[in-house]
């Protein structure tokens, strides 16, 4: 069902969109590099192995941001769509070593990135609490962290109660990706001191609309790759 939903996502994307596929357990695995070849993408998705091992979610998301997005490059618009329950093995009382990077470090990298992250929360709490004795507090903390990632990117957390909900959720993500716009402005403070600059976007005279945006940026010199 996950493979089928992922292939439908590929079919629904624009022809000009390059797509990469990464799976992760205790380490990320590159299924397909960035490509326009839809046939090859779907073939790679069909060949995804069953998942074994822990969940190093923070390390894996950071890997995608640093490997594919090119932190702060600003050369092309990009998005990361990640489907997870968010429970990293590094969370308290969750078995396994977990991610090396801390969540705070990951969040800083997300804020620094020119990309935006669309988290899809797949609810596995009931099953995993029963079968693997994962504390419910870990799920509550994971949901808070996914919400923090979404807030940093100006997106929202999409929720799939069951696997069969993924088709509908991916359709919403595709729809929202089509309403992403790039805007710019000239700041009054020109200092490239690496400090945080807060930004707020308001839609004047349009109370029926809401703008979701990144909350700011770190003022620094952009290094071309």
Token duo for residue 65: 């941001």
Rounded percentage of the chain residues whose pLDDT exceeds 90: 49
Query: How confident is the model at residue 222, as a pLDDT?
Result: 65
Computed over every residue of the chain, the mean pLDDT equals: 88
Do the bridges between strand 28-35 and strand 19-24 make them parallel or antiparallel, or are there none, so unpaired?
antiparallel
Ordered by where they begin, the domains of the chain are 2-177 (3.40.50.410)
Q: How many residues does the chain have?
A: 225
Q: Where are the beta strands (DSSP E) in 36-104?
A: 79-84
Comparing CA positions, the residue from 166, 187, 174, 67 lying closest to residue 115 is: 67
Give CA–CA dist 71/61, Å, rounded: 12
- Predicted confidence (pLDDT) per residue in 83-119, tens digit: 999 999 999 999 888 999 999 999 999 988 888 999 9
Q: Which of 83-87, 166-170, 174-178, 208-212 has the highest mean pLDDT?
A: 83-87
Among 69-78, 106-115, 149-158, 187-196, whose mean pLDDT is lowest? 69-78
pTM for the whole thing?
A: 0.86
Give CA–CA dist 102/38, Å, rounded: 35
- How many Cβ atoms sit within 10 Å of the Cβ of residue 77? 13
Query: How confident is the model at residue 202, as a pLDDT?
Result: 86
Question: What three-state secondary structure class fits 34?
Answer: strand
């Amino acid at each position: 069902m996950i493979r089928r939903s992922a292939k439908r996502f590929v079919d629904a994307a624009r022809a000009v969109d390059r797509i990469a596929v990464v799976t992760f357990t205790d380490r990320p695995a590159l299924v397909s590099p960035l490509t326009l070849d839809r046939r090859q993408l779907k073939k790679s998705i069909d060949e995804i192995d069953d998942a074994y091992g822990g969940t190093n979610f923070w390390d894996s998301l950071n890997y995608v941001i640093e490997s594919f997005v090119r932190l702060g490059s600003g050369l092309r618009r990009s998005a990361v769509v990640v489907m997870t329950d968010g429970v990293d093995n590094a969370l308290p009382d969750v078995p396994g070593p977990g991610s090396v990077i801390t969540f705070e470090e990951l969040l800083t990298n997300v804020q620094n990135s020119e990309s935006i992250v669309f988290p899809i929360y797949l609810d596995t709490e009931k099953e995993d609490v029963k079968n693997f004795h994962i504390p419910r507090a870990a799920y509550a903390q994971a949901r808070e962290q996914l919400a923090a990632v979404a807030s940093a990117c100006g997106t929202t957390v999409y929720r799939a109660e069951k696997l069969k909900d993924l088709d509908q959720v991916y359709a919403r993500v595709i729809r929202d990706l089509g309403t992403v716009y790039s805007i710019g402005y000239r700041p009054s403070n020109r200092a490239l001191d690496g400090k945080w600059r807060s930004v707020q976007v308001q839609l004047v005279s349009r109370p029926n609309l809401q703008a979701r945006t990144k909350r700011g940026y770190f003022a620094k010199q952009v290094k071309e790759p």
